[in-house]
């Protein structure tokens, strides 16, 4: 699967976000080392601490299906270009990087794609 295809799926799933409080929809699409794809969108709750980010939603779906090694994640919001994952999502994703590291695929200011390695944007994650 290409980065463009991952981003298209992230765009599509962002439309399913439940964001009645922030009005900030996000979609994420994870590609595993085994070639499987998992989508997630953010969903909010009136008890704000219970809100789940799109990236962690997709991660949970992959884990529930037995996948624990990720090659790439595309993240999209129609409200913001370069919609980077929050710190909590960066920490969660750092647990599941494939050997060569996780590609973080974002849409740039010109509607093109820009790719970062997770280690570039989260260099010192917590590890046991």
pLDDT digits (tens, 9 = 90+) for 17-26: 999 999 999 9
How do residues 50-105 score in pLDDT, each as one tens digit? 999 999 999 999 999 999 999 999 999 999 999 999 999 999 999 999 888 999 99
3-121 topology per CATH: Cytidine Deaminase; domain 2 (3.40.140)
* 22 phi/psi in degrees, rounded to 5: -90, -25
Name the residue ranges covered by the structural domains of the chain: 3-121
Q: Please identify every residue annotated as catalytic.
A: 55
d(CA 128, CA 113): 33
Q: Is 0.85 topped by the overall pTM?
A: yes
Give the list of residues 6+ apart from residue 118 with CB closer than 8 angstroms, or none.
90, 93, 94, 97, 101, 102, 103, 104
């Amino acid at each position: 699967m290409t980065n463009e295809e991952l981003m298209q799926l992230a765009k599509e799933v962002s439309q399913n976000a439940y964001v009645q409080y922030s009005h900030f929809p996000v979609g994420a699409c994870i590609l595993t080392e085994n070639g499987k794809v998992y989508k997630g969108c953010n969903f909010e709750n009136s008890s704000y601490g219970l809100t789940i980010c799109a990236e962690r939603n997709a991660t949970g779906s992959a884990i529930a299906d037995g996948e624990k090694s990720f090659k790439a994640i595309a993240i999209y919001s129609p409200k913001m270009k370069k919609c980077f994952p929050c710190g909590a999502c960066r920490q969660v994703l750092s647990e599941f990087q494939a050997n060569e590291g996780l590609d973080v695929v974002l849409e740039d200011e010109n509607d093109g794609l820009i790719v970062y390695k997770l280690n570039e944007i989260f260099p010192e994650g917590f590890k046991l």
